[in-house]
């Protein structure tokens, strides 16, 4: 690091007055230290403290916030430019979710550009509200920024799907320049999130492709069970031509676990339903199948394939979140 200019996040100990606030800082450092190896993730170097402050030392991103670039473009992006942004967001979010980390504060202000260059890569920052989460775990504390918070967060029962709602809000803003849920007060915003539907009728939505609108709608689905995962979103038709590699999805492991615990009748019903799979679903399923490295002889996938797929993508965060525990049920 000698001669390198770095960024330092300074957290005053005067504000760390409760056990919860102290634990929040410890968890942020632990997450930053445990997560590594993704090009769209801010690089963590070290953390230290003195009598007054805690210091988190990270790479310096000099290109400014995504929010500033949106504003500099008159409030919105073209579809092609928005795809470049969303692909990077989904890639790093998929990485975090596979490792068992939910960010809980995805918004344009928390994506920084490395440089001022027009084509600079983005970095996800600020894990102050993030947490480790097991594949079968639900969180219940209401955190995040009001405009980007998911309905299930307000109902105090949520998981990684809440981050995908936030990605949907960001995409909506990029494409049309306005927020999908708005009010003058925080309580009003929350009511809008719970009850209102995004507007796709006014300008400029008439000139936006059906694929882009479908992409946003599938992320802003109030039923989190029907919302796309980050890996599924990367295989959506709107992004399919962008040569997006589809990453391993923890959802596959959840589905296999549920299948093994299901009754013979339910398994038969699911087998029948699989014949009605759509082309989009097939593309996603084929990508996940190939990531599990099936046998070259008969195309089968065994338990060891699942284990190796997770271990090959594992960071220390995956161990902290106990994501690997899901293998005990596979």
Positions annotated as catalytic residues are 105
Burial degree of 177 (CB within 10 A; 0-12, 13-18, 19+): middle
111-113/53-59 β-pairing? unpaired
Handedness of CA 328, 153, 214, 64 (dihedral sign): negative
Q: Which two tokens stand for residue 109?
A: 């202000």
| Phi, psi angle pair for 58, to nearest 5° | -135, 175
**CA gap 71, 174 in Å, rounded:** 10
What separation in angstroms does the CA of 155 have from each of 159, 218, 222, 230, 282?
A: 12, 20, 11, 22, 33
CB distance 142 to 152 below 8 Å = no
What separation in angstroms does the CA of 146 have from each of 10, 30, 48, 101, 110?
A: 24, 26, 31, 20, 14
**CA gap 327, 319 in Å, rounded:** 12
C-alpha Rg value of the chain to the nearest Å: 21
Burial degree of 260 (CB within 10 A; 0-12, 13-18, 19+): exposed
- Using H for helix, E for strand and C for coil, what is the string for 257-305? HHHHCCCHHHHHHHHHHHHHCCHHHHHHHHHHHHHCCCCCCCCCCCHHH
**CA gap 111, 40 in Å, rounded:** 9
CB distance 127 to 103 below 8 Å = yes
């Amino acid at each position: 690091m000698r001669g390198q200019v770095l960024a330092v996040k300074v957290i005053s100990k005067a504000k760390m007055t409760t056990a919860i606030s102290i634990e929040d800082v410890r968890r942020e450092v632990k997450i930053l230290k445990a997560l590594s190896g993704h090009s769209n993730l801010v690089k963590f170097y070290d953390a230290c403290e003195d009598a007054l402050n805690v210091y988190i030392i990270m790479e310096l991103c000099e290109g400014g916030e995504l929010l500033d670039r949106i504003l500099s473009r008159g409030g919105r992006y073209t579809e092609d430019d928005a795809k470049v942004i969303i692909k990077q967001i989904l890639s790093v979010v998929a990485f975090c979710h596979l490792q068992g980390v939910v960010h809980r504060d995805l918004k344009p202000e928390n994506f920084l550009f490395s440089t001022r260059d027009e084509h600079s890569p983005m970095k996800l920052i600020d894990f102050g509200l993030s947490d480790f989460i097991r594949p079968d775990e639900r969180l219940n504390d209401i955190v995040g920024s009001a405009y980007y918070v998911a309905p299930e967060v307000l109902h105090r029962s949520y998981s990684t799907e809440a981050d995908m709602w936030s990605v949907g809000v960001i995409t909506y803003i990029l494409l049309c320049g306005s927020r999908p849920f708005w009010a003058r007060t925080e309580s009003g915003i929350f009511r809008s999130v719970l009850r209102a539907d995004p507007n796709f009728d006014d300008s400029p939505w008439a000139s936006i492709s059906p694929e882009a609108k479908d992409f946003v709608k599938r992320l802003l689905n109030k039923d989190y069970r029907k919302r796309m995962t980050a890996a599924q979103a990367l295989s959506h038709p709107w992004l399919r031509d962008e040569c997006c590699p589809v990453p391993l999805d923890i959802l596959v492991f959840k589905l296999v676990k549920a299948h093994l615990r299901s009754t013979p009748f339910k398994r038969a019903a699911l087998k029948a339903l699989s014949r009605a799979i759509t082309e989009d679903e097939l593309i996603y399923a084929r990508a996940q199948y190939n990531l599990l490295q099936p046998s070259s002889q008969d195309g089968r996938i065994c338990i060891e394939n699942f284990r190796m797929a997770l271990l090959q993508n594992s960071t220390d965060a995956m161990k902290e979140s106990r994501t690997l525990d899901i293998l005990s049920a596979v």
